[in-house]
């Protein structure tokens, strides 16, 4: 056993580095009070070291660590890389954010919590045991609760955080209840053990259905799918913008990683066809992917419909991210390798376009102090560069060629059509059209209305422009040259199987 | 010998009580208490399974749930204190800055 | 009816009655103390189920930690000027219906399920040694991650709840 633990620790290096970074960043504030950006730099150093350890894990054979608690396989490495990239970007955002600078608080805890949030997401991406799934969700959630309450002087921040805590605690309570029923049915907390018990049969389907419905409550909360999305608009609006951006991309990706791994390993009996187009056979029981299809349709429709009314940019982007969770769920519903690869492609693309959109909103909020859509009138004239960049990002979010968003949707639709889910593809296409309306409303305000006479041209700092281009350029680039990304995603859907 | 179903039904009743508390009460602290009821219900059902199925794994999960519940209530109460300092009320209906 | 069964019904009654009091009482202090009895009832049930370590942990963590914290929260957030600790209204009929639906559905499902119950008397050994061993061998990783969770909660709660020198001035110095 001791040897097993020592062997596992070798593959656990990224998470160990993150934990060490967390502790060091907390202490930096204590010893180096004068330099307010020091915690950020220490955090970046720690994250770079973590990234180096992850890179060292590339190409290794899939394995599980610590008695089947955590898996290290191409799937988890993909998500860990995505999360790490998000964290580095968010540290950059936080350094540029006026909102955080004006709170005049020591930032050591903020960066330490960002690192612990990253650790939670790493664990979510690899968890193969129900206890680890619960603990990693709680680690992520707790760091998020605190981070969203960071600017607590603002009234809406603590209110948003309270709603987040209550909703998150209830959802994880529901999920835990589902886990307890699953444990009672199968006698095992390890998803491989559960899979074996389900294949062996004689499990009551109704009880299994209830347990999966309850667990989906927890997963749905993490990925902001309807009807577990109620926290999303409030928290996205009330939390500081870098935190919102982080939650919208990385937290959703980690939630999807955990959900995809859970559903695939627990409920799939065998994989038919070795290529990436192969489809799967489910364990006899109920059709869980129909349950997820309902969630997907609700998320897309309700997310897009409510976004049409929104006037606060952050809230609009929150509802749009609910809709995107719906699109992503479609890839899981399809039950094929192609569908999973499509989800990974879409998440990679979503990283660029969503973080870019949030950064553009932050740049504007820094300068004009508002996130209201009416204050975007004439922005295209006052700052053409921002207008054009934001336009590209919004078109990508809608899914219009030749942007990266179109590539993501292309692969999702192709997976749906190959698996004969025609009606879902039609619903998704209609929803993309609805989303076009509210994204174009922003564009109309920016370019087709004249600015106030008092509106002077806005100049943005060079650093901010460079960061924005860091998102816009890949959005266009991936729209035309997406081969490597697709190949990488298709290679990354390999999960550790305990056969 | 008490059958397993009795323990499970008791846990279901406790869970349902907690859910009612979360949905119908307005005071944030009572909502937290109801969440603790839900988590206790889950723990009870896990320990019952652990006993009747003959494995100690369930009790290990119970321990972790307790630890996390303690941490969550600490954070929740800290946020409540911060909120109360700003607004002098804990009535969830009055927290309506963030609407549709 | 053996003593064991009587003890089960006694603890079950305490638990359910106290839980109902927590949720439906209009006085927040009554709710807090009813929660205390709920925790005691559940600890008794754990002891009946042979989970000795968990029962004691329940008392230490829930009663000694969480309940004390909740009481602090209650005391710190009621206005000193008014002695009215009453809290909001709730509609009785929808709540009862929802309760019956949820509890009934879950219990019904449990009763019809065929659990693989272990035949014969359960092992009466103490669980503390077994659990302790498991924490350092099989369940090592969750154990360590739980400690990170607790550290995060500690740091976060302290950060949120502390009074900053530059926070908004409040009308009363109650906090």
Question: Quick one: average pLDDT of A165-184?
Answer: 93
Residue C127 pLDDT class (50, 70, 90 cuts): confident
Given this model, what pLDDT does residue A453 score?
65
Q: Residue A265: which of A414, A126, A421, A415 has the closest Cα?
A: A126
Structure tokens at A349: 């693309």
Going by pLDDT thresholds of 50, 70 and 90, the confidence category of residue C171 is very low
Burial of C88 (0-12, 13-18, 19+ CB in 10 A): middle
Contact present, A265 and A130 (Cβ < 8 Å): no
Whether the pLDDT of residue A448 is over 90: the answer is no
pLDDT in tens, A307-347: 888 888 888 999 999 999 999 999 888 888 888 999 999 99
Residue B51 lies in a domain: yes
Q: Per-residue pLDDT tens for A7-42?
A: 888 889 999 999 999 999 988 878 877 767 888 899
Per DSSP, the residues of A28-88 read: HHHH--S-TTHHHHHHHHHHHHHHHHHHHTTTPPPEEETTTTEEESHHHHHHHHHHHHHHH
Residue A226: pLDDT above 90?
Answer: no
A37: Cα separation from own chain's centroid: 26
Q: Within a domain: residue B29?
A: yes
Residue A301 pLDDT greater than 50, yes or no: yes
Delineate the domains of chain C, giving CATH numbers in brackets.
1-87 (1.20.120.1200)
Q: What percent of chain C has pLDDT over 90?
A: 42
CB A89 within 8 A of CB A355: yes
3-state secondary structure of A246: helix
**In the predicted structure, residue B10 carries a pLDDT above the cut 90:** yes
pLDDT tens digits, C82-104: 444 445 555 667 778 888 888 88
Of A142, A146, A176, the CB nearest to B42: A176
Neighbours of A262 (CB within 10 A): 20
- Predicted confidence (pLDDT) at residue A110 exceeds the cutoff of 50: yes
Residues A346/A296, Cβ–Cβ less than 8 Å: no
| CA A232 – CA A225 distance, rounded (Å) | 9
Q: Using CB atoms, pick whichever of C130, C152, C157 lies closest to residue B56.
A: C130
Query: pLDDT at position C170, please?
Result: 44
DSSP conformation letters of A188-220: -SBHHHHHHHHHH----HHHHHHHHHHHHHHHH
Residue A131 with chain C: CB contacts under 8 Å: 139, 142
Number of domains in chain B: 1
Query: In the predicted model, what is the mean pLDDT of residues A369-394?
Result: 84
Q: Where are the domains of chain A?
A: 268-499
More confident residue, C115 or C69: C69
Residues C141, A143: C-beta atoms closer than 8 Å: no
Task: Name the minimum distance, in Å, from the CA of C70 to any CA of chain B.
Answer: 7
Give the HSE-up count for residue A332: Cα atoms under 13 Å, Cβ half-sphere: 33
State how far the Cα of A152 lies from the Cα of A143, in Å rounded to an integer: 15
For chain C, helix (H) and strand (E) counts, in that order, are 7, 0
CB contact under 8 A, A109 and C159: yes
Q: Which range is least confidently modeled, A207-216, A488-497, B26-35, B62-71? A: A488-497
Per the domain annotation, does B96 fall within a domain? no
pTM, two decimal places: 0.92
Beta-carbon separation of A166 and B31 below 8 A: yes
Is some CB atom of chain A closer than 8 A to the CB atom of C140? yes
Q: What is the mean pLDDT of residues C67-86?
A: 71
Q: How far does the CA of residue B46 sit from the closest CA of chain A (Å)?
A: 6
Query: What is the per-residue pLDDT for B48?
Result: 92
**Residue B97: strand, helix, or coil:** coil
How many beta-carbon contacts under 8 Å exist across A and B? 111
A-interface mutation test, from B97, B99, B100, most A Cβ less than 10 A away: B97
- Going along C99-172, which residue ranges are E strands? none
DSSP assigned state of B56: T
- Does some domain include residue B95? no
Instruction: List chain C residues with CB under 8 Å of B82.
Output: 160-161
What pLDDT sits at residue B33? 94
What pLDDT score was predicted for residue A165? 93
Q: Residue A279 has what pLDDT? A: 65
> How far, in whole angstroms, is CA C126 from its chain's centroid?
23
pLDDT category of residue A265 using cuts at 50, 70 and 90? confident
- Please report, rounded to a whole number, the percentage of residues in chain B having pLDDT higher than 90: 51
Residue A458, pLDDT score: 77
Q: Are B2 and C4 in contact (CB under 8 A)?
A: yes
* pLDDT recorded at residue A79: 94
Q: Cα separation of B8 and B46, whole Å?
A: 9
Q: Count CB-CB contacts under 10 A for residue A56.
A: 13
Which residues of chain C have a CB within 8 Å of the CB of A19? Answer: 148
Domain that holds residue B40: 4-89
| Contact state of A139 with C145 under an 8 Å Cβ cutoff | yes
**Crossing angle of helices A205-223/A313-333, nearest 10°?**
140
DSSP category for residue A149: T
Q: What pLDDT is recorded for position A109?
A: 87
Q: For position B39, which CATH number holds?
A: 1.10.287.3510
Measure C95 CA to nearest chain B CA, in Å: 6
Cβ atoms of C135 and B57 closer than 8 Å: no
Higher pLDDT among residues A105 and B44, named by residue: B44
Report whether pLDDT(A397) > 60.
Answer: yes
The pLDDT assigned to A121 comes to: 96
Name the strand (E) or helix (H) holding A282.
strand A279-282
What mean pLDDT value characterizes chain A?
Answer: 87
- Which of the residues A29, A137, A138 would you substitute to probe the C interface, choosing the one with the greatest number of C C-beta atoms within 10 Å? A138
Three-state DSSP at C86 gives: strand
Residue B94 has pLDDT above 70, yes or no: no
| Confidence grade of residue A370 (pLDDT, cut at 50, 70, 90) | confident
Does residue B64 fall inside a structural domain?
yes
* Two structure tokens written together for C31: 């709710």
Q: Do residues A158 and B86 touch, judged by C-beta distance below 8 A?
A: yes
Q: Between vectors from CA A324 to CA A320 and to CA A326, what angle results, nearest 5°?
A: 120
Residue C174: per-residue pLDDT: 40
pLDDT at B99 over 60: no
């Amino acid at each position: 056993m001791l040897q097993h633990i020592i062997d596992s620790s070798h593959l656990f290096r990224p998470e160990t580095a993150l934990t060490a970074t967390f502790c060091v960043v907390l202490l930096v504030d204590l010893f180096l009070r004068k330099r307010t950006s020091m915690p950020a730099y220490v955090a970046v150093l720690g994250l770079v070291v973590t990234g180096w350890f992850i890179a060292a894990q590339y190409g290794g054979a899939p394995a599980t660590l610590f008695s089947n608690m955590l898996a290290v396989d191409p799937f988890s490495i993909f998500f860990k890389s995505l999360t790490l990239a998000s964290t580095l970007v968010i540290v950059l955002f936080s350094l540029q954010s006026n909102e955080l600078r004006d709170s005049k608080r020591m930032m050591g805890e903020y960066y330490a919590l960002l690192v612990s949030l990253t650790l939670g997401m790493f664990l979510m991406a690899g968890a193969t045991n129900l206890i680890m799934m619960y603990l990693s969700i709680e680690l992520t959630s707790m760091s998020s609760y605190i981070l969203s309450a960071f600017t607590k002087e603002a009234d809406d921040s603590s209110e948003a955080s309270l709603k987040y805590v209550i909703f998150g605690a209830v959802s994880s309570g529901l999920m835990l209840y589902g886990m307890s029923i699953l444990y009672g049915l199968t006698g095992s907390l390890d998803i491989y053990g559960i899979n074996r018990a389900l294949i062996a049969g004689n499990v009551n389907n109704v009880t299994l259905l209830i347990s999966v419905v309850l667990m989906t409550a927890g997963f749905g909360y993490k990925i902001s799918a309807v009807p577990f999305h109620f926290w999303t608009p409030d928290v996205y609006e009330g939390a500081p913008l870098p935190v919102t951006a982080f939650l919208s991309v990385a937290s959703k990706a980690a939630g999807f990683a955990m959900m995809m791994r859970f559903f695939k390993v627990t409920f799939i009996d065998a994989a038919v066809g070795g290529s990436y187009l192969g489809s799967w056979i489910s364990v006899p029981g109920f059709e869980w992917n129909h349950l997820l299809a309902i969630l997907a349709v609700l998320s897309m429709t309700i997310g897009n419909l409510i976004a049409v009314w929104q006037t606060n940019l952050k809230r609009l982007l929150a509802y749009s991210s609910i809709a995107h969770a719906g699109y992503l769920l479609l890839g899981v519903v399809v039950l094929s390798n192609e569908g999973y690869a499509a989800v990974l492609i879409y998440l990679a693309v979503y990283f660029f376009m969503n973080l870019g959109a949030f950064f553009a909103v932050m740049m504007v909020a820094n300068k004009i102090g508002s996130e209201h859509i009416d204050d975007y009138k004439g922005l295209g004239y006052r700052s053409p560069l921002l207008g054009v960049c934001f336009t590209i990002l919004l078109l990508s979010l809608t899914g219009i060629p030749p942007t990266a968003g179109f590539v993501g949707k292309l692969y999702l639709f192709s997976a749906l059509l190959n698996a004969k889910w025609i009606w879902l593809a039609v619903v998704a296409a209609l929803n993309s059209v609805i989303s076009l309306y509210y994204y174009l409303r922003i564009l109309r305000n920016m370019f087709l209305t004249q600015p106030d006479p008092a509106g002077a041209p806005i100049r943005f700092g060079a650093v901010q422009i460079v960061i924005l281009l860091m998102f816009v350029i890949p959005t266009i680039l991936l729209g035309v040259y997406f081969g490597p990304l697709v190949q990488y995603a298709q290679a990354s859907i390999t999960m550790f199987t305990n056969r | 010998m008490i059958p397993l179903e009795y323990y499970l039904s008791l846990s279901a009743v406790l869970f349902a009580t907690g859910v009612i508390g979360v949905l119908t009460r307005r005071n944030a602290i009572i909502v937290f208490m109801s969440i603790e009821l839900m988590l206790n219900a889950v723990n009870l059902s896990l320990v019952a399974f652990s006993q009747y199925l003959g494995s100690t794994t369930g009790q290990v999960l119970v321990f972790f749930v307790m630890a996390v519940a303690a941490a969550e209530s600490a954070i929740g109460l800290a946020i409540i204190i911060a909120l109360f300092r700003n607004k002098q009320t804990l009535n969830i209906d009055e927290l309506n800055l963030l609407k549709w | 009816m053996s003593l064991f069964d009587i003890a089960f019904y006694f603890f079950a009654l305490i638990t359910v009655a106290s839980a109902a009091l927590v949720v439906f009482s209009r006085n927040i202090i009554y709710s807090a103390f009813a929660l205390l009895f709920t925790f005691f009832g559940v600890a008794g049930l754990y002891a009946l189920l042979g989970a000795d370590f968990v029962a004691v942990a329940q008392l230490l963590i829930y009663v000694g930690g969480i309940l004390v914290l909740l009481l602090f929260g209650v005391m710190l957030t009621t206005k000193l000027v008014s002695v009215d600790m009453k809290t909001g209204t709730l509609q009785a009929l929808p709540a009862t219906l929802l309760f019956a639906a949820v509890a009934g559905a879950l219990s019904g499902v449990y009763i019809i399920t065929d659990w693989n119950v272990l035949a014969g008397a359960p092992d009466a050994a103490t669980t503390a040694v077994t659990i302790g061993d498991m924490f350092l061998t099989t369940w090592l990783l969750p154990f360590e991650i739980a400690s990170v969770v607790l550290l995060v909660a500690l740091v976060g709660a302290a950060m949120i709840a502390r009074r900053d020198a530059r926070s908004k001035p409040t009308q009363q110095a109650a906090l």
